[in-house]
Amino acid sequence: MRTSTIFAIVASLGVAIADDVYLGFNSGATTDSKNAKKQADFEKEFETAQKLRDSPGLFNAIRLYTNIQAETTDTPIEAFPAAVKTNTKLLLGLWCSGTTSIKNELSALSKGIDQYGTNFTNLVIGISVGSEDMYRVSESGIRNNAGLGQAAEAIANFVKEVRDNIKDTPLSKIPVGHVDTWTAWVNESNKAVVDEVDFVGANLFPYYEDDKGNDFSNATAVFGDAFNKTKNAVGDKPVWITETGWPITGPDFGKAKASLDNAKGYWETIGCTLFGRTNTFWYTLHDSNPDNKAKFAITKDLSTTPQFNLTCPANAGAPPSINTSPSNSENGNNGKSAASTTSSSLMSWLVAGLSFVCAVAAWAA
C-alpha cells in the first residue's frame, strides 16, 4: 500500500501525525578530569547515546552549554563535526553568566556555520541563550553559592542579539530560548525573558528540592508540581525538559538518597512519561563535572550497557498534567489527574488505530 494511502486512513481515524519530539542528553565541554573534549571524545559519547542497550527510544540529540571549544577564545566546539559525523541533533548553548558580551560565543557559532555548512546547521534544533543564569543571581542561588549569573534584562538582550546575528544564516528559523531552573521561570521579575524566548528550557531535579519533602517516594509529585508551575508561569511558550535525573551515588540531600534503585525508579516513573512526548535532555549520559559529588551518569566509561535496565514499563503514562500537584499523590492518584488519564487512554487508542492501519496495509499489499 502506498504511504499516501496509509496517511489517508490515519487521517480518517482522526489520528494526528505529530512533529518530531527530541530525546537526548546534556554534554559538557570538558571531561570528568577537566580536560577539553576533542572530536573523538564527542563522537564516542554521541555514538554511545544512540546505541544504548534496551533504550526506550533513539537518543540522538545533545544539549551543549557553549559554542566555544574549551581552552580557546572563539574556536567552534569540536562537538560540531562530531555531530555531523554521527548525525546527532544539537540544542546549541551560549554561556552568558559573568559577562557583558557574547561576542566570542557568536563568533564561534559563525565560524562553525562557515566551516561545516548545512551539514551542521541542518542538525540544529534550537539555541539556548544561557543556562541557569537567572537562578544564580536569585536569593536561593546566592545562598547556595551558585556562582556568577545574569539578570533577566541582560538575558533578554542576549536573545535579541542572537536572533539578529543568525537572521541571514541557515539558522534564521531555529527557535531561540533560554534554560533555567523552574524557580527562575515562576519568578515574575524574569518576565522579560519569558516574553522574548521562543521556548522555555526547564531544569527539574526533585533530588535537590529539600524544602518539598524530597524523599524518593515523593519525586513524582515534586516533579509534577514544579513542571506545572513552570507551564502556568510561561503561558503558551513550549516547555522543554533540558535537565532532569536522579543520582546513582552521592550525598544525601534533605530526604533524598542517591542510589542505583532510585535512579532506575526515577527513569521509569518520570523519564518514561516524558520520552516521545516532550523534548527531553536527560542528565546525564556521562558525568563531566568532578566538583559535583552527586553522580548522575547512566553509563560508566561510555559503555553501551547502562548501569540499570532502561526498558520502560508497559503502563508508563503521560507526563504530569497541568492540574497535577503533590496533593494528588497523597490522595492515591500517583500524581495523575483526569487529564493525564485521558492522555494515556488517547495514547492507547492511537496505538490501536495504528495497529488497524498496519493490518489494512498488510491485507492490501
Grid coordinates given for 115? 566551516
pLDDT digits (tens, 9 = 90+) for 262-279: 999 999 999 999 999 999
Residue 186's Cβ-count burial label (10 Å; 0-12, 13-18, 19+) is: middle
Give a yes or no: residue 190 inside a domain. yes
Give a yes or no: residue 363 inside a domain. no
Query: Containing domain of residue 46, as a range?
Result: 20-313
Rounded Cα gap, residues 294 and 254, in angstroms: 13
DSSP state string for 99-126 = -S--HHHHHHHHHHHHHHHHHHHTTEEE
Reply yes or no on whether the pLDDT at 193 is more than 90.
Answer: yes
User: At residue 201, what are phi and psi to the nearest 5 degrees?
Assistant: -95, 120
CATH number reported for the structural domain that contains residue 143 in this entry: 3.20.20.80
Give a yes or no: residue 324 inside a domain. no
Fill in the DSSP letter of residue 143: H
301 φ/ψ sector (left φ>0, alpha ψ -120 to 50, else beta): left
Residue corresponding to grid cell 565541554: 29
Question: Catalytic residue at 243?
Answer: yes
Give a yes or no: residue 70 inside a domain. yes
pTM of the full predicted structure?
0.84
Domains in the chain: how many in total?
A: 1
Question: Catalytic residue at 132?
Answer: yes
Give a yes or no: residue 321 inside a domain. no
Report the length, in residues, of the chain.
365
Give a yes or no: residue 318 inside a domain. no
Catalytic residue among 43, 209, 243, 268: 243
pLDDT digits (tens, 9 = 90+) for 96-152: 999 999 999 999 999 999 999 999 999 999 999 999 999 999 999 999 999 999 999
The CB-side HSE value for 264 (13 A sphere, CA atoms) comes to 11
Give a yes or no: residue 117 inside a domain. yes
Give a yes or no: residue 164 inside a domain. yes
Rounded Cα gap, residues 108 and 307, in angstroms: 35
Predicted local confidence at residue 316, as pLDDT: 79
Catalytic residue among 132, 196, 209, 268: 132
